[in-house]
């Protein structure tokens, strides 16, 4: 796309705003720099994920049908996708996107994936080592999509043709302007085609737990409909307030009754509908009883915010600030705690706005 560079710079703010797009820090210059299952249930799931023989196809959310002569076994994926597939017992060989923190630990987006056992093709925006990618002899590349144009998330536009030229089919799972339960189902469907036992007791229990958590959140919002929730993210000079549309998690939470703070549509328009930037002096523009803060490493965490205006917010003073991952790992196991955390916060919230 000719405007891809400008689009991705816009997404930086969207990601930091909790709109699940872009990076909270300045984007790195583009370049080619540089599953471990636990417990008996996980081992059983992993064993069930042995690829079957024969041709393989999967129609992704672009409407594109990925094809291979056999079920892919040398999979490369965006880190959050790799983490989700890992939860279903499907291993990947390579990952790209925020995989490790500066101290070498696994990034929050890695979930339970053992990042020491995968080849990291790039840890920051714009990084995707094509030579390492080709050396893996990939037979599938999977990532998410945060627009309706079919843009593959974290696959650099400037080197996309070379990456696609390696020859592996690609799959894009949309998380754009749809509720969370939909991409969760799509990831489950993909995992099944890759050999996962999606009818296992482990997966069935995880899905049931997710549904129970959704019911709990619905009940909490019904009991306390006036509790206002703000989705925010902190950067050095800007506080981002996310609108509840477009983001897959916020759309789902809203459908369950969460009363979100909503920036005006004309204000959101400047970011493509995702967020509003506020200076720290104006961080008190909106009243909120609960603040959900971006917990990814690209954002400044609440404990590290020193701005006086932040510390004076009623929700902050009442200790009613919780974490949010604007890029949920798309497995039922990883999304259930997101629902549970918000439900518990609403259940226990004092009206402070």
| Kind plus residue range of the DSSP H or E element containing 44 | helix 39-48
State the CB neighbour count (10 A cutoff) for residue 103.
5
Sequence-ordered list of residues with C-beta below 8 angstroms from that of 199, at least 6 positions apart, any chain: none
352 within 8 A of 289, measured Cβ to Cβ: yes
* pTM for the model: 0.86
Sequence-ordered list of residues with C-beta below 8 angstroms from that of 159, at least 6 positions apart, any chain: 30, 32, 128, 130
DSSP string, 275-292: EEEE-GGGTTSS--SEEE
DSSP string, 60-99: -TTS-EEEESS---SEEEEHHHHHHHHHTT---SEEESS-
Residue-by-residue pLDDT tens, the chain, 353 positions: 323 333 333 443 344 333 443 333 322 333 333 333 333 344 444 444 555 567 999 999 999 999 999 999 999 999 999 999 999 999 999 999 999 999 999 999 999 999 999 999 999 999 999 999 999 999 999 999 999 999 999 999 999 999 999 999 999 999 999 999 999 999 999 999 999 999 999 999 999 999 999 999 999 999 999 999 999 999 999 999 999 999 999 999 999 999 999 999 999 998 999 999 999 999 999 999 999 999 999 999 999 999 999 999 999 999 999 999 999 999 999 999 999 999 999 999 999 99
CA R_g for the chain: 20
State the CB neighbour count (10 A cutoff) for residue 150.
15
> Please, what's the b/e burial string for 229-255 (b: 16 or more CB within 10 A of its CB; e: otherwise)?
bbbbbbbeebbbbbbbbbbbbbbbbbe
Q: Please give the DSSP secondary-structure letter assigned to residue 16.
A: I
Phi and psi at 340, nearest 5°, equal: -65, -45
pLDDT score, position 41 = 43
- Write the burial class of residue 2 (CB in 10 Å: 0-12 exposed, 13-18 middle, 19+ buried): exposed
180 within 8 A of 122, measured Cβ to Cβ: no
Cα–Cα distance measured from residue 228 to residue 216, given in angstroms and rounded to the nearest whole number: 17
pLDDT score, position 50 = 53
Instruction: Write down the residue that tokens 């604007």 correspond to.
Output: 326
């Amino acid at each position: 796309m000719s405007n891809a560079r400008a689009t991705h710079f816009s997404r930086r703010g969207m990601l930091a705003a909790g709109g699940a797009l872009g990076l909270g820090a300045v984007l790195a210059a583009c370049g080619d720099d540089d599953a471990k299952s636990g417990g008996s249930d996980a081992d059983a799931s992993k064993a069930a994920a042995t690829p079957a023989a024969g041709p393989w196809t999967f129609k992704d959310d672009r409407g594109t049908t990925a094809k291979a002569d056999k079920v892919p076994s040398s999979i490369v994926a965006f880190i959050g996708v790799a983490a989700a597939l890992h939860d279903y017992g499907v291993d990947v060989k390579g990952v790209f996107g925020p995989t490790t923190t500066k101290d070498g630990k696994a990034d929050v987006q890695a979930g339970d994936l053992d990042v020491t056992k995968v080849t990291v093709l790039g840890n920051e925006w714009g990084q995707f080592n094509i030579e390492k990618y080709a050396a893996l002899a990939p037979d599938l590349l999977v990532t998410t999509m945060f627009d309706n144009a079919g843009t593959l998330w974290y696959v650099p536009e400037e080197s996309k043709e070379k990456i696609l030229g390696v020859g592996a089919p690609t799959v894009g799972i949309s998380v754009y302007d749809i509720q969370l339960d939909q991409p969760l189902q799509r990831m489950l469907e993909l995992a099944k085609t890759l050999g996962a036992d999606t009818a296992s007791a482990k997966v069935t229990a995880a899905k049931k737990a997710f549904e129970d958590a959704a019911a709990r959140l619905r009940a909490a919002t019904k009991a306390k409909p006036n509790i206002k929730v703000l989705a925010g993210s902190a950067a050095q000079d800007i506080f981002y307030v996310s609108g509840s549309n477009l983001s897959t998690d916020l759309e789902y939470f809203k459908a369950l009754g969460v009363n979100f703070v909503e920036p005006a549509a004309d204000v959101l328009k400047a970011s493509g509908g995702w967020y509003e930037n506020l200076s720290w002096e104006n961080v008190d523009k909106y009243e909120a009883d609960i603040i959900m803060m971006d917990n990814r490493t690209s954002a400044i965490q609440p404990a590290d915010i020193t701005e006086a205006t932040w510390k004076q917010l009623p929700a902050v003073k009442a200790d009613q600030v919780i974490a949010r991952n604007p890029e949920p790992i798309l497995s039922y196991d990883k999304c259930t705690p997101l629902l549970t955390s918000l439900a518990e916060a609403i259940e226990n919230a004092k009206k402070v706005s």
